[in-house]
Amino acid sequence: MSDQRPVSEQEPLNADEILDVVDEHDRVVGQAPRAVTYARRLRTRCAFVLVRDAEDRIFVHRRTPRKLVFPAHYDMFVGGVVGAGESYDEAALREAEEELGVSGLARPEPLFRFLYETPEHTWWSAVYEVRCTLPVAPQEAEIDWHAFLPEEELARRLEEWPWTPDGLAAYRELTARRAAGEV
């Protein structure tokens, strides 16, 4: 059986979005479309937002199969790439509101930055946290399952579910820094 969806529904999301390309010190050195930055392993910027509800549970979701990077993987962060000319803080709030399907979210609190690097990808990553007491209505184009999970359940699921490697790295960095009393 062939896939009869329109071509636009089969293509990865946001491949043409223009991103700032940065150096090892997180200084802008150019710009390129997202697909080009991934294909050429150009370093960009990303914002990760850990979202907690009123009961201190963490928003966890599964990315749709159409995502350009890490399709159909689980993530404990909302967020995404920082657009050309955009600040980390602006991207964190924009991405959190878009992915959660809310407006009027408090500004996410910046926690730390780290450089995520693998043989395939590299980006400077700013990690944030925010409390969301608003009813969420996640973007169906980007999220195909979601729940607020207690941190203990999230910890159990780390070995069971396929997680976005960058989100998992950010979460491990966050838990290590919390254990050391740094955040």
Is 172 exposed, middle or buried (CB count within 10 Å of its CB: 0-12, 13-18, 19+)? exposed
Instruction: Name the average pLDDT for the chain.
Output: 92
pTM of the entire predicted model? 0.90
- pLDDT confidence of residue 68: 78
- pLDDT confidence of residue 4: 36
Residue 28 CA from chain centroid, whole number = 20
- pLDDT confidence of residue 69: 82
Whether residue 10 has pLDDT greater than 50 = no
- Which residue from 174, 28, 22 is spatially nearest to 110, judged by alpha carbons? 174
- pLDDT confidence of residue 33: 95
Q: Which of 15-19, 51-55, 170-174, 175-179 has the lowest mean pLDDT?
A: 15-19
- pLDDT confidence of residue 13: 57
- For residue 148, give the amino acid letter: F
Residue 175 CA from chain centroid, whole number = 17
**What is the mean pLDDT of the segment spanning 76-88?**
96
Whether residue 5 has pLDDT greater than 90 = no
143 vs 54, 111, 161, 182, CA distance in Å? 21, 25, 15, 31
